Copies of this chain bind each other. A is one copy, B any other.
C-alpha cells in the first residue's frame, strides 16, 4: 500500500492515491497492491473520475501514474470480480438484450480508461513489475511511457478468450513502429521485456528498478510543469488530434487553435524571456 500523503482534494478515492511530489506535478498510484493492483469496476470508475478532476485542476500541469507496491503496475482486469458479474460469461438470456448490456458495459469501461488520454495535462506512465492486460490499454492512453527494467509486459486478452476491447487494439499499432511485432504480441499473448518495449518504441526510457523509474517519471513531469501550460497543453491536444486526422485537417485545426493561444501572455512572455535570456514565469491556466 502506498505511504505517500495524498493531496487533500483527492483524498476521497478508495483505490487511488494522489500526491504531489513537486510544484504543479501530481502522482497517481493504483493502490490495490495485494490484488496486484487489478481493476474491478469500482477501480476503473475511480480511474476515470480522477483524470477528469486532474484535467480541470489549475494546480496540476503534469501527471505521473504508477502502481503501488513492488510487484505490479497492474495485473489487469480483476478476473474473479468480472466472473462474478452477471454480465460476462456464456449467454443465457436473450442475445440481443445481452448484447445491448455488453455494449454499454464496454463503453463505460473504455470511457473510464480513455479519460487519461482526454486529460488536458500530459500523463507519464511508469511501468514496473507485472504490467499485463489492462496495463497495456492504459499505457496506450498515456502521453509518455517509461519503465523499470524488471517490467513484464503482455497483451494478455487472447488468453482469456477475448479480443482486447478497452483500447489496445485501436491504439497500439499507432504508437509503435512495427505492426508485425504488434500482431505477434497481440495474437500470442506472450510476455515482452522492458528492453523489447524500448527497441520497438513502446516506451522511450528504461530505468534500473521501480524507484529509479518513478524518480525519472517525476523528474520528467517536473520539467513539463515548468514550461508554459498553454504551450504544453496545446502540444498534447494537437498531437492527439493529428493521430486521427489527415495532415491537411490537422494544419487547419492548428491554425484555429493557435489563433487564440498565441494571444495569451505565455507566448509573449516566453518569447521575450528567450530574447532576454531570462526565465519566464507562467500563470495558472
Cβ B202 vs Cβ A265 within 8 A: no
Per the bound structure, the CA–CA distance linking A264 and B99 in Å amounts to: 9
Chain B residues near A215 (CB-CB < 8 A): none
Q: How many of these chains are in the complex?
A: 6
Give which listed residue, B181, B254, B259, B265, contacts A169 with CB less than 8 A. Answer: B254
A223 contacts the other chain (CB 8 A): yes
Most buried by B among A56, A120, A162: A162
**Cα–Cα distance between A142 and B258 once the two chains are bound (Å):** 24
Distance between Cα atoms of A201 and B261 in the complex (Å): 31
Q: Quick one: given A178-B201, A184-B204, A187-B144, are A162 and B99 in contact (CB under 8 Å)? A: no
Contact of A235 (CB < 8 Å), options: B179, B187, B244, B262: B187
| A270 close to chain B: CB less than 8 A | yes
Q: At the interface, yes or no: A209 with Cβ under 8 Å from chain B?
A: no
Q: What bracket does the count of chain A residues touching chain B fall in? A: 35 or more
Is A94's beta carbon under 8 Å from chain B? yes
**B162 and A267 form a contact (CB under 8 A):** yes
Q: Which residues of A232-269 have CB atoms within 8 Å of chain B's CB atoms?
A: 232-239, 242-251, 253-269
A262 with B162, Cβ < 8 A, contacts A242-B173, A251-B170 known: yes
Q: A245 — which chain B residues lie within 8 A by C-beta?
A: 246, 249
Q: How far is the CA of A92 from the CA of B133 in the complex (A)?
A: 32
Contact B265 A96 (CB under 8 A): yes
Q: Tell me the bound Cα distance from A142 to B266 in angstroms.
A: 31
From B180, B235, B253, B270, A201 is in contact (CB under 8 Å) with: B180
Given contacts A203-B180, A260-B96, A261-B99, contact A165 B268 (CB under 8 A): no
Which of A96, A203, A227 has most chain B Cβ within 10 Å? A96
Which residues from chain B contact A120 at a C-beta distance below 8 Å? 100
Nearest-Cβ distance from residue A145 to partner chain B, whole angstroms? 5
Of A3-11, A39-47, A65-73, A102-110, which stretch is located at the interface? A102-110
Given contacts A91-B91, A161-B230, contact A170 B201 (CB under 8 A): no
A212 CB within 8 Å of chain B: no
Q: Identify which of residues 203-228 in chain A touch chain B, using a CB-to-CB cut-off of 8 Å.
A: 203-205, 220, 223-224, 227-228
In whole Å, how far is A110's beta carbon from the nearest beta carbon of chain B?
5
Contacts of A244 in B (CB 8 A): 246-248
Complex alpha-carbon distance, A271 and B204, angstroms: 33
Given the known inter-chain contacts A162-B231, A223-B188, please indicate yes or no for A268 contacting B90, CB distance below 8 A.
Answer: yes
A40 nearest CB across to chain B (Å)? 15
Contact A263 B201 (CB under 8 A): no
Is the C-beta of A80 less than 8 angstroms from some C-beta in chain B? yes
For the complex, give the distance between the alpha carbons of A167 and B255 in Å.
10
Q: Report how far A270 CA is from B256 CA in the complex, Å.
A: 23
